[in-house]
């Protein structure tokens, strides 16, 4: 192979912005039928898995200290979707979570509030009351979360319930079975239907459950599929499977939202969820956001962390920066 050929292959793999094979007007046609959609999604450039993981790992080595760290911690706290999604959730637990979202550190009122609390649909009313007046939003998972194995009208009823109860955001799961079987239009139609059910009041987050999609190529396809269908946010996972948010799959989704905005002018948010437990991890994700999607996404309107135990670690780190001594789990709430 000539040197020139080598170079162009290198450029194709590692080039900053992956050029998509379509132009903006063509995007309108890709959802016309199952076959056009399939052709578009399979026409997306393949993901260089080794390169992706290496880039995610290298961006994770940045050292963020002192004032930058303080800024990153406050930003991360403001991006947390404080989540409780257990069968054992009680109204009392949801109220406690709401109080924590509104005042994450009662000993330090300068702590920002979290972005939202995330609960099951039947707890939305309780959560709404608990965070009233604090500016914290209420997100609700819906569409037969976490498996998504139910008929469309059942899923839509789930969404209507949550929206009627006052949810500001809906976290839906895609039908992974249909996606993996290649029925992309079915997945697309479902997202469109749920988006419609959300109405104008609720933002829609679409969960791909990246741990079940097997390949990076599938994650890229799912990201584009979700964005084409009108998702306001694309979200990695439910937190209920073995592999949840990783730096690599989040990086891939950040590239997708960046490219999508470059082509359509529409900005879409990203939410990694599950498995992010330490401040260090959270800051690594913020570096990914800044370096990939850019500063426009460094805001809780466009980037969120789906997490529960992460908040305590962020608060302990915040206390450390404020007092100069290491804090411990005795000084944050148990939840």
Partner 1 sequence: MSDKSETIERLSVFKTYKLYVGGKFPRSESGRVYEVTDSKGKWLANAPLSSRKDARDAVVAARKAFGGWSGATAYNRGQILYRIAEVLQGRRDQFVREVAEAEGLSKAKAAAQVDAAIDRWVWYAGWTDKIAQVVGGGNPVAGPFFNLSSPEPTGVVTVLAPQESSFLGLVSVIAPVIATGNTAIVIASEKSPLPALSLGEVLATSDLPGGVVNVLSGRTAEIAAPLAAHQDVNAIDLAGADEALAKELEIAAADNLKRVLRPQAVDNWSAAPGTERMTAFLETKTVWHPTGSLGASGSSY
For binding to partner 1 (CB under 8 A), which residues are involved? 324-331
Q: Measured between alpha carbons, how far is 213 from 181 in angstroms, rounded to an integer?
A: 11
The residue among 97 and 310 lying less far from partner 1, judged by its C-beta, is: 310
Q: Measured between alpha carbons, how far is 62 from 60 in angstroms, rounded to an integer?
A: 6
Task: Calculate helix-pair angle for 66-78, 279-292, nearest 10 degrees.
Answer: 90
Spatial contact of 219 and 252, defined as CB atoms under 8 Å apart: yes
So which residues are the catalytic ones?
A: 171, 235, 271
Count of CB atoms within 10 A of residue 294's CB? 12
The residue among 92 and 324 lying less far from partner 1, judged by its C-beta, is: 324
The residue among 17 and 334 lying less far from partner 1, judged by its C-beta, is: 334
Q: How far is the CB of 320 from partner 1 (least distance, A)?
A: 9
Rounded to 5°, angle at Cα 295 from 293 and 296: 80
Q: How far is the CB of 107 from partner 1 (least distance, A)?
A: 12
Largest CA distance in the chain: 68
106, two tokens = 């009662």
Please give the span between the terminal C-alpha atoms of the chain, in angstroms, as a whole number: 59
Spatial contact of 150 and 144, defined as CB atoms under 8 Å apart: yes
The residue among 4 and 325 lying less far from partner 1, judged by its C-beta, is: 325
What is the Cα Rg of the chain in Å? Answer: 20
Q: Measured between alpha carbons, how far is 330 from 254 in angstroms, rounded to an integer?
A: 36
Q: How far is the CB of 326 from partner 1 (least distance, A)?
A: 4
* Dihedral sign computed on CA atoms, order 140, 125, 136, 168: positive
The residue among 21 and 329 lying less far from partner 1, judged by its C-beta, is: 329
The residue among 90 and 107 lying less far from partner 1, judged by its C-beta, is: 107
Q: How far is the CB of 61 from partner 1 (least distance, A)?
A: 14
Q: Measured between alpha carbons, how far is 321 from 324 in angstroms, rounded to an integer?
A: 6
Q: Measured between alpha carbons, how far is 119 from 142 in angstroms, rounded to an integer?
A: 9
* Count of positions (residues) in the chain: 335
């Amino acid at each position: 192979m000539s040197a020139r050929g080598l170079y162009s292959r290198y450029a194709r793999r590692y080039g900053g912005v992956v050029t998509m094979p379509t132009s903006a007007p063509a995007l309108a046609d890709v959802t016309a039928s199952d076959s056009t959609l399939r052709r578009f999604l399979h026409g997306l450039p393949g993901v260089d898995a080794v390169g992706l993981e290496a880039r995610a790992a290298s961006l994770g080595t940045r050292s963020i200290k002192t004032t930058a760290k303080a800024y990153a911690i406050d930003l991360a706290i403001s991006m947390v979707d404080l989540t409780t999604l257990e069968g054992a959730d009680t109204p009392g637990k949801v109220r406690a979570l709401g109080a924590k979202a509104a005042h994450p550190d009662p000993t330090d009122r300068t702590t920002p509030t979290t972005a939202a609390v995330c609960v099951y649909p039947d707890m939305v009313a309780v959560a709404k009351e608990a965070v009233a007046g604090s500016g914290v939003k209420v997100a609700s998972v819906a569409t037969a979360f976490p498996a998504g194995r139910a008929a469309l009208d059942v899923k839509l009823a789930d969404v209507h319930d949550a929206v009627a109860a006052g949810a500001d955001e809906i976290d839906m799961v895609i039908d992974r079975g249909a996606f993996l079987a290649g029925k992309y239009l079915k997945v697309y139609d479902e997202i469109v239907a749920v988006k419609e059910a959300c109405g104008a009041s609720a933002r829609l987050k679409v969960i791909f459950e990246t741990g079940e999609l097997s390949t990076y190529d599938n994650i890229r396809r799912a990201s584009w599929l979700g964005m084409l269908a009108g998702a306001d946010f694309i979200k990695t996972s439910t937190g209920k499977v073995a592999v949840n948010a990783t730096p690599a799959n989040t990086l891939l989704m950040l590239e997708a939202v960046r490219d999508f905005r470059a082509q359509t002018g529409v900005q879409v948010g990203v939410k990694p969820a599950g498995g992010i437990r330490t401040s260090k991890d959270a800051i690594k994700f913020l570096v990914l956001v800044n370096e990939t999607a850019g500063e426009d996404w460094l805001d809780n309107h466009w980037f969120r962390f789906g997490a529960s135990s992460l908040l305590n670690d962020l608060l302990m780190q915040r206390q450390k920066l404020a007092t100069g001594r290491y804090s411990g789990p005795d000084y944050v709430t148990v939840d």
